[in-house]
Amino acid sequence: MINILIPLAKFFDSNLGSFAKKALAGLGVGVISYTAVTAAFNTAVSFAQTHYNNLAVDIVSLANLGGIGEAMGLIVGAITFRLTITTMSKLGVIPK
C-alpha cells in the first residue's frame, strides 16, 4: 500500500500542486462532516420517535387527533431539507 501512496503523492505534488491537496482535503472534511451531521440528526429523530411511541395509548390517540404526528413529520422534513441544502452548498455540489 505504501508503495502506491508515495508515487501518488509525488504525482499530485508535482503535477497538480496545492490545488489537488486542497480539493482532496476539502472533500474528505466535507464528507466526514456530512456523515457526522446526518448520524447525529438520525439519532435525535430516533430518540424522539422512541419516546413518542412510549407514551400512553390515550395520550398518543389525543395527540394524533390534534395532528401532532403530521406536524412532527413536517418539522423533521424541513430540518432535513435545511441540513441537506446547507451541507451540499458547503461541499460545492450546489452553488450558494
Q: What is the pTM of this model?
A: 0.56
**Distances from the Cα of 39 to the Cα of 18, 30, 54, angstroms:** 31, 14, 23
Sequential pLDDT tens for the chain (96 residues):
556 666 766 666 665 656 655 665 566 666 666 777 788 888 988 998 899 889 899 988 998 899 988 999 999 999 988 888 887 776 666 666
- Taking the domains of the chain in order of start, what are their residue ranges? 25-91
**Distances from the Cα of 77 to the Cα of 25, 42, 45, 82, 95, angstroms:** 30, 12, 11, 9, 22
